[in-house]
Amino acid sequence: MAEQEAQVHGHCDPRFAAVRTAFEANFRERGELGAAVAVRVGGETVVDLWGGWADAAHSRPWERDTLVNVWSTSKGPTALCAHILADRGLLDLDAPVATYWPEFAAAGKEQILVRHLLSHRAGLSGLREPHSLQQLCDRELTTQRLAATEPWWAPGTQSGYHALTYGFLVGEVVRRVSGLLPGAFLDREVTGPLGIDFVIGLPEKEYGRAAELVHAPVASSSEQAAIFSQLAPAAIAALANPAVGAAQANSVEWRAAEVPAANGHGTARAVAALYGIFAGRGSYDGRRILSPEAAERVREGQGACRDLVLGAGFESETEVALGLWLSGANGSYGPNPRAFGHDGFGGSCGLADPEAGVSLGYVMNRMGPHIADDPRKMALIDALYGAL
């Protein structure tokens, strides 16, 4: 069956028919392979669609419960763990990280605050020494190296996307405070009680539900060399030490590890639910996960700037809040500049807009070349806000 003939299944409230139209157009016009989108408005699921194929060979249809690696869309749930601890008075976002993780004070990092980790302002976008995929999947080694290394820039002064290190940094603070890694903490406090189908890392028993990720178009060696020649060392460290793509993410090694910045696996329904906690000002299906004040703090902007890693990819400055990105002038999460969310490498997205009472989850397996604002995601968001 040709890609343009992919069947779309699920439910869509007639009011949001434009979202279904955009989702179907992603298959016809934007190279979608397999994907799902879910939207919650006012606490009700108004869109829950899926379609296409869970593998490149078109041998497995994308099902209602197909799981997929959502890359950095995982950062929202990881940040949620830290905010729950802060809301309970167990974690002070304005305290030095070394208060909870004493070894972290090495190499001039004693004044880095917890909020700097959450907002990509710690100067630790990547490691200085070569770090392989195997080493990345060794959590203890990776956190030890991060504790020992020095920042790339003056912490707190500017954001620089911590693509892979974010989850180890925030995650280690969560572990030091709670005694649990983010995956276990999230399961105990949020996804387990609420029945949300999302995990950090992927248990072997769930492999049969996992979609195969498919590479984005690969640049030639000369094109890659030209791109990297324009990047600062902090950006190269963030994006290529190690370089991780679809092939690595399909491996047992990656799935079995806990990489809280990048190997969350879930459905679109689960992503919409997790970001729905933020959209619901801390409440989900009548259960309070965060106080309203703590939920508002999640989107407390930390200063707009040209991000030191991703800056060239946006038309204007961006602003990271405490774990998520503000929609801002780029409209990355719709027309409300105070809406916020997170994109995943290749296309996925979680969105929260408390003013509109809206959350959205979009997941897919054919990766586009974009780190953020993939055209498929933007088409869905435009259709959603057009229907509100």
Q: What pLDDT band is residue 371 in, cutting at 50, 70 and 90?
A: confident
Q: Specify the pLDDT at position 2.
A: 41
Q: Specify the pLDDT at position 4.
A: 45
Q: Say which range, 8-17, 267-276, 350-359, 370-379, has the weakest mean pLDDT.
A: 370-379
Whole-model pTM? 0.97
Region 8-19: mean pLDDT is 98
Q: Specify the pLDDT at position 207.
A: 97
Nearest C-alpha neighbor of 71 from the set 312, 248, 303, 325: 248
Residues forming the active site: 72
41 Cβ neighbours under 8 A, 6+ residues apart: 356, 357, 358, 388
Q: Per-residue pLDDT for 10 more than 80? A: yes
Q: Per-residue pLDDT for 1 more than 60? A: no
Q: Which amino acid is at 197?
A: D
Express each pLDDT in 113-143 by its tens digit. Answer: 999 999 999 999 999 999 999 999 999 999 9
Nearest C-alpha neighbor of 338 from the set 388, 378, 279, 294: 279
DSSP state of 190: I
Percent of the chain scored above 90 by pLDDT? 91
Express each pLDDT in 198-240 by its tens digit. Answer: 999 999 999 999 999 999 877 777 777 777 777 899 999 999 9
- CA–CA dist 219, 24 (Å, integer): 28
φ, ψ at 259 (rounded to 5°): -120, 85
Q: Specify the pLDDT at position 223.
A: 73
Express each pLDDT in 61-96 by its tens digit. Answer: 999 999 999 999 999 999 999 999 999 999 999 999
Q: Specify the pLDDT at position 3.
A: 43
The rounded mean pLDDT for the chain is: 95
Q: Which amino acid is at 169?
A: L
Place of tokens 């990345």: 136
Region 308-316: mean pLDDT is 84
Letter string b/e over residues 54-78, b meaning 16 or more CB atoms within 10 A of that residue's CB: bbeeeeebbbeebbbbbbbbbbbbb
Region 293-304: mean pLDDT is 97
Question: Which domains can be identified in the chain, with CATH numbers?
Answer: 3-78+184-387 (3.40.710.10)
Q: Specify the pLDDT at position 151.
A: 98
Region 331-360: mean pLDDT is 98
Q: What pLDDT band is residue 283 in, cutting at 50, 70 and 90?
A: very high
Give the orientation angle of helix 165-178 with respect to helix 75-87, to 10 degrees. Answer: 30
Q: Per-residue pLDDT for 314 more than 90? A: no
Q: What pLDDT band is residue 264 in, cutting at 50, 70 and 90?
A: very high
Region 48-53: mean pLDDT is 98
Q: Specify the pLDDT at position 21.
A: 98
69 Cβ neighbours under 8 A, 6+ residues apart: 202, 210, 213, 249, 254, 255, 262, 263, 264, 265
